Structure 1
Amino acid sequence: MSDFINTDNLLNQVLSLPAQSQLEYLKAQLALINDPFEREKVETLVVLAFTLGQSNTSQNQIVILIHGIRTNAAWQERVAQELSQTSNIKVFPVGYGYFDAIRFWFPFYFRNKPIERVLREIRGIVAANRTAKIAVVAHSFGTYIVSRILAEQPDIIINRLLLCGSIINDEYRWDLLPKIPPSVLNDVGTDDLWPVAAKVSTWGFGSSGTFGFKTYNVQDRFHKLGHSDFFSLNHIRQYWLPYILSGQIVKSSWGAERPPASTAVSVLSIAPVKTLASIIVAAIGYGGFILYRFAFN
């Protein structure tokens, strides 16, 4: 290592590691600096920045984890365990029970129940941690829930928002939110068919988890992953922890290398499923009406 190093880069590298590994890593990097004066200066700067950074983020930070449908959300415990190694962060896995596909596709009434439950949980968490900054990690239907809460509840203030498998509408107006989060990171899975399927098969959802938002309000980060492939320990440690702990967005090489969307994704994205379903439902309803009139007249 050169005797003259970038302390910001070193600090970010330290923060991206689990808490129990940070000190040993810092010692190893400092040992590579030959000049004693430079080594002491770097050590002082990094330790000071690390201490201030931890006091500004970890000391009063809560992390809320919101799952998708038809899942027991084992990933929530995995993330909670990783974060538990960092002191002064409180983690709250939030759920709304098992939400089946039928209710997921029905655009009215059923969606409000999980939104109300998650909102109730968030309000309780915020009330018990009034000085804390909030980071939210949401997957699949959980992203839709968060989008509704942000749009409809101006008192809920989120500092960092991490989305994956997002089904938020592509045209979602981030710029019109009462309180837009200062940082929104959308982990996009280019092999994820489910956001596209949700968009074309019912109302209110979008394919933002497959193609990204493409807006200045959100940082899209692309990965060659499917709908539930974000939950490996490697991905959590490499990409999620730096963002949750310090706001650092670790770049993915897949963003620049990814090929055009697969044929399956392209075809599915333009399939008029909702239109066909509406026609079928209307035809069945009209046919039933005609039979009723015929039978009773």
Structure 2
Amino acid sequence: MALLNDICGAKKKFIRPTLIIGLTANVEELDNYKAEFLRSVTVVLDGSLYSSDWKYSIMGSIKSLLDSQLKVIQKETDKLLITVHGIRTYGKWQQELKENLNKYSRDFNSVDFKYGFFDIFSFSLPYLRNRKAISIARRIASVLDSSADKDIYIVAHSYGTYILSKALELCGSEVKICSVILCGSPLKHSHDIEHIIQRSEITINECGTRDGILVLARCFLLGLGDAGRVGFTREHTSSFMNRWHKGGHSHYFDDKGTPNFYQRFWLPLMATGEKPISHDDREPYLTEDVVDIGIKFLTVLKPILYGFGFYFLVKFFVGLVVG
């Protein structure tokens, strides 16, 4: 009894085990101490030498404990957060988002996909852009395939949305995703994202109405657009929505306000499964028609400008070789 008091005493230095089994072969004394044992011991057993029933009881108690602990471990690792950052950044927001999510839920493991500083020149050239994207997309697809039994949540920003689109084309058909959040996407507004929506219970495209970076991408970079500004051109359903916010290319990660952007719009969805709410900060302005026509004109002109640029570049190098 002294040992039991040392183990279970609140003021003692010993850590109380999760499971304590009391075992005695002295059947006559069992009734004298049974009540006291039951206050501190999980199970009290008759350990008679003439019966082996107590062995099976111990095995059953230990198995029950291990099963319950396994459920806890599974619960803690059943959710996976995947994040993918954009160009010209090291993705500091990924760590901050993970830390904020952990304040609300301890159930998540996370994988932050990083690929170093990707410069604007390489991003501007379709060949280099696609080569980099496919390389990272294969890594993402591999993680998705190996995590098909988990509840998966994905947040991708800027070029990360371009990479994610390719990754979801590469992974196996058994991969299902709880939610996909795209923000600041340079994909074209007409880009087919059906393969993303079909894999995800809910896909949200967050748009910054003042995202000048995406205006430049749409006007001057071949193969890119401004879906992260104007939204994807498709119907809103229970599995897809565009949301428009006043802000620029990276305002989703600003710490301004309490709660900040992702605390308000993303964490409830990931931590508690709360249904996302629609949001639209768009307002008409005086020169909207002129700006819209100008952007569309430059978008049409873009391939021609690239063609002329390539022609003069080739002509220049030929001149150097011949001359």
| TM-score in same-fold range (> 0.5) | yes
Q: Among 283, 300, 314, which residue is 1:285 paired with?
A: 314
- Contact persistence 2:214–2:226 (CA under 8 A): yes
Q: Is it true that 1:141 corresponds to 2:155 in the alignment?
A: no
Cα drift, residue 182 of structure 1 = 2.4
Counterpart mapping for 1:85-100 below 5 A: 85=103, 86-100=105-119
Q: Among 229, 234, 253, which residue is 1:210 paired with?
A: 229
Cα drift, residue 253 of structure 1 = 5.0
Counterpart mapping for 1:36-75 below 5 A: 60-75=78-93
Q: SS state of the match for residue 254, structure 1? A: coil
Distance 1:112 1:282, change over 3 A: same
Partner of 1:220: 242
**C-alpha separation between the residues in 2 aligned to 1:219 and 1:58?**
29
Partner of 1:83: 101
Partner of 2:139: 120
Distance 1:185 1:110, change over 3 A: closer
> Which range is displaced more, 232-241 or 258-267?
258-267
The amino acid that maps onto 1:278 is G
Residue segments in structure 1 that go unaligned for 5+ positions in a row: 1-56
> Which range is displaced more, 242-251 or 91-100?
242-251
Distance 1:130 1:284, change over 3 A: closer
Partner of 1:30: none
Deviations 1:49-93 (A, max 9, x none): xxxxxxxx9862211111000112111111111111212112222
- Contact persistence 1:238–1:250 (CA under 8 A): no
- Contact persistence 2:197–2:203 (CA under 8 A): no
Partner of 1:18: none
Partner of 1:250: 277
Between Structure 1 and Structure 2, how many residues are aligned? 236
Q: Among 193, 216, 223, which residue is 2:212 paired with?
A: 193
Partner of 2:251: 229
Q: Is it true that 1:270 corresponds to 2:297 in the alignment?
A: yes
Greater relative contact order (Cα < 8 A, sep 6+): 1
Distance 1:187 1:279, change over 3 A: same
The amino acid that maps onto 1:251 is S
Q: SS state of the match for residue 82, structure 2? A: strand
**C-alpha separation between the residues in 1 aligned to 2:292 and 2:213?**
10
- Contact persistence 1:196–1:269 (CA under 8 A): no
Residue segments in structure 2 that go unaligned for 5+ positions in a row: 1-74
Q: Is it true that 1:153 corresponds to 2:174 in the alignment?
A: no
- Contact persistence 2:206–2:243 (CA under 8 A): yes
Distance 1:264 1:63, change over 3 A: same
The amino acid that maps onto 1:259 is P
Partner of 1:37: none
**C-alpha separation between the residues in 2 aligned to 1:74 and 1:265?**
33
Q: Among 188, 191, 196, which residue is 1:172 paired with?
A: 191
Q: Of the two, which has the highest radius of gyration?
A: 2
TM (norm. structure 1) is: 0.69
The amino acid that maps onto 1:187 is E
Please list every run of at least 4 consecutive aligned residues from structure 1 whose deviation after the TM superposition is greater than 6 angstroms: none
- Contact persistence 2:140–2:167 (CA under 8 A): no
| RMSD of aligned alpha carbons | 2.9
The amino acid that maps onto 1:116 is S
**C-alpha separation between the residues in 2 aligned to 1:72 and 1:81?**
17
Cα drift, residue 287 of structure 1 = 5.0
TM (norm. structure 2) is: 0.64
Distance 1:214 1:225, change over 3 A: same
